[in-house]
Structure 1
């Protein structure tokens, strides 16, 4: 039997999850189709995790408008969704007269875009803000910040779920057909769905979905960026992101603190055709460390704990220039909202993009408001961040808080259990990792990984061979070594 919706959203990255949340403000039956087994598996979880100030984007573009809007509202968003967010500020450092002129132009553009508080600071002020930064002067953006992209996307999706949205993971869309009555049949690898509206938030797959909808002509390029993650030992040396002077198309390799105390280094930017290869070659890691050391000289192999990469979907015109966000409703594809080229600053801009996408539907559909919509969501309490008194209270109420599963990140059994029984029904190792930070410390799961796999198996009554690390086929075990 086909499942019938008013709206189907294709893609559960940060923008798809934001659209789902904003769409839930109306009396509509909404579903989300995601090809992966969780939210945030692709571009949304593979970036610098920076909330940008909006000064790096062309005047009058949706990128500039949505970025500034998203930046200015993020304190309230973080409060509603109960996610970690730090408004650290950010510096773009320079050394030459050409750098200085470029930063003055950046400030001019930023002010027109609506960015707040931008200023040129001298070397003394720069080193007061970031003692280890290398530069003669800098542009300071006080409202830039850092966020956990996993927690943000998960929180958006969970808030949408609690407001009635259905999430269907492992449901890759392989065909779309509209009948004579205006009803779409969306074919997935797991079965078919019927819907009156479709919203394309497929990210790296958005051109493919756009073609299925009958909207042709978009050209994509993927830009792959590699990153290093450094141990928390060096975190105190970097109080805010440090960037070079940007070019017209690229923000450059930078160093960024995380909300959890690590440091990330990157990204480079290589055009790729394969949107599934996230490997990081050794030569790229060497290049990242060498280049970023010109900004911040505390990058040493002894502090490397992991690497990762992300691929951004860039919409190009006929001459190869990168274009603006596309948020459109086209006559040739009735009852659809099509989002193309949602790259950086997509994380910062997710909710502003979502509001504009939802508005296109609301203007045509005129749905009633959902009077029971609740914008607030409560996350998993992080034991490691509590006071000694609060830790004692938690343990007294639930003894599982007294058992540490992940030593590196001080993640308790109680937190792992909450993550296993998460509202979205995600059951992979990486799903637990994203929700608790277990397996993200210095040993990268060497101590806790097998215990977490056992907990998933026992709590969800799974056969041991069905416990997955992340994607289909990533089975943790093929069987028992001995009975």
Structure 2
């Protein structure tokens, strides 16, 4: 196994994958170490999936600067990487004089930050944009949008691999030492060496920082729960709808997805367990009650699933939440340390990556890779094609003519491409998020076993070898009865 690199990125979230991708614009030998079995298994795949406008962050911060930069370029990024994206706009809805004062302050913050085309709109204009909303006025951000955060992270990773990067999964870093100018990183997959190390470990950034010899960061997990609603309510919500934000929290909101569902949430609470993603029934009830005051279309019969995500926040003893920290320190030569990369990390991922690379350029030569290709092609979604294109696809490959997932209209051809993906990952959730198989109304009731059988057959696995998402997550532990 190849284990010697010019630079190793620790963490396969959206920021780590963006850094790896941007580093392949150089001739450096790039590797990425991820503790999970695929990219985006933590905060990057568990969020509101919103492209933020840049008005919610203090002027002069990296959060503000890099968010505005990421927002402005995302049409081109989405086109290059072939990922779903809609610039829907977003409204922050208010009702009281206090709300109006808060929105005016937010508007001014956005203008200072460089957020584009913000305006306060009245009730008539608000209800033209979102007829089903409850509110008297709103801050309208036309440049905000929605995306698929998992597919975006996958696309960054695949484009990095396409340009020469190596990704290693189930490779949690457990120790780091530096000898003779070379870093030695101990993982479950053995030891890796590199001249440079980049800590983009998300929730694990504090631990990695300590391993690098940079101490003093207190990382808190901010857990938020969500409800996913059926696609039949999707037409009622053309854009994300938010309440008036507080100083530290954007509030429980409702957001359409690029696939037609609606998500409700998140709430927020500090947690010490960074591995627990359960959603209690009381949380679901409070989410619906709160969001219904803003958008009264949330009914229990439309719930199809819930999920949660945990953000990594650098919080002082007095409760102050810090800006993104992206640093090089003398305690860790030739290392870049990223701390507290939370929202808007999804929007700002590529600007963060460029910021990291500019820091490295201050100390090292980064020769350009003339063969870098920024374009990546994703899996064609059969259900979204015209009848003419569908007929052409089936003529080229009969596997497009067999539906595996009835709810989302996912074909065998799409699952085959997902199983044989460029990153070489093959958990059931990896295939699920690349195709939307198991993500419809029945949540896998029809297609889950068919997917599992395809994974077994295509990869030559025994049923007991198939994993759902994480090490040890075996859907099958043996036969119910022998034949």
- Normalised to the residue count of structure 2, the TM-score between the two structures is 0.99
Residue 423 in 1 paired to residue 422 in 2?
yes
Deviations 1:218-248 (A, max 9, x none): 1111100000000000000000000000000
- For 2:193 and 2:113, how far apart are their aligned partners in 1? 41
Aligned to 1:452: 451
Q: What residue ranges of structure 2 are gaps of 5+ in the alignment?
A: none
- For 2:367 and 2:285, how far apart are their aligned partners in 1? 55
- For 1:131 and 1:3, how far apart are their aligned partners in 2? 56
Is the Cα–Cα contact under 8 Å of residues 2 and 194 in structure 1 kept in the other structure?
no
Residue 441 of structure 1 deviates from its aligned partner by 0.3
Aligned to 1:26: 26
Residue 3 of structure 1 deviates from its aligned partner by 1.5
Residue 99 in 1 paired to residue 99 in 2?
yes
Residue 265 in 1 paired to residue 232 in 2?
no
- For 2:206 and 2:297, how far apart are their aligned partners in 1? 41
Residue 125 of structure 1 deviates from its aligned partner by 0.5
Aligned to 1:137: 137
Residue 58 in 1 paired to residue 58 in 2?
yes
- For 2:246 and 2:3, how far apart are their aligned partners in 1? 48
Residue 475 in 1 paired to residue 474 in 2?
yes
Aligned to 2:273: 274
Residue 318 of structure 1 deviates from its aligned partner by 3.6
- For 1:346 and 1:387, how far apart are their aligned partners in 2? 35
Aligned to 1:358: 357
Residue correspondence of structure 1 range 144-155 to structure 2 within 5 A:
144-155=144-155
Aligned to 1:157: 157
Residue correspondence of structure 1 range 152-301 to structure 2 within 5 A:
152-179=152-179, 181-301=180-300
Superposed structure 1 runs of 4+ greater than 3 Å apart: none
Deviations 1:424-466 (A, max 9, x none): 0011000001100110000000000000000000000011100
- For 2:473 and 2:186, how far apart are their aligned partners in 1? 25
> 1:472 and 1:349, CA in 2 relative to 1: closer, same or farther beyond 3 A?
same
- For 1:379 and 1:113, how far apart are their aligned partners in 2? 33
- For 1:226 and 1:7, how far apart are their aligned partners in 2? 36
Is the Cα–Cα contact under 8 Å of residues 11 and 32 in structure 1 kept in the other structure?
yes
- Normalised to the residue count of structure 1, the TM-score between the two structures is 0.99
SS of 2:196's partner is strand
Deviations 1:86-127 (A, max 9, x none): 000000000000100110110000000000010011111100
Residue 408 of structure 1 deviates from its aligned partner by 0.4
Residue 80 in 1 paired to residue 100 in 2?
no
Residue 467 of structure 1 deviates from its aligned partner by 0.3
Is the Cα–Cα contact under 8 Å of residues 429 and 470 in structure 1 kept in the other structure?
yes
Q: CA RMSD in A?
A: 0.7
Aligned to 2:117: 117
Aligned to 2:47: 47
Residue 363 of structure 1 deviates from its aligned partner by 2.2
Aligned to 2:37: 37
Aligned to 1:305: 304
Residue 2 of structure 1 deviates from its aligned partner by 7.2
Deviations 1:161-214 (A, max 9, x none): 0000000000000000001x1011100012101110000000000000000000
My pick for the range that moved more, 90-99 or 314-323, is 314-323
Deviations 1:300-336 (A, max 9, x none): 1100000000000100124220000011111110000
Is the Cα–Cα contact under 8 Å of residues 123 and 137 in structure 1 kept in the other structure?
yes
Aligned residues: 482
SS of 2:383's partner is helix
Is the Cα–Cα contact under 8 Å of residues 4 and 193 in structure 1 kept in the other structure?
yes
Residue 78 of structure 1 deviates from its aligned partner by 0.1
- For 1:139 and 1:169, how far apart are their aligned partners in 2? 43
- For 1:204 and 1:54, how far apart are their aligned partners in 2? 23
Deviations 1:280-301 (A, max 9, x none): 0000000000000011001011
SS of 1:47's partner is coil
Aligned to 2:12: 12
SS of 1:426's partner is coil
Is the Cα–Cα contact under 8 Å of residues 51 and 147 in structure 1 kept in the other structure?
yes
Q: What residue ranges of structure 1 are gaps of 5+ in the alignment?
A: none
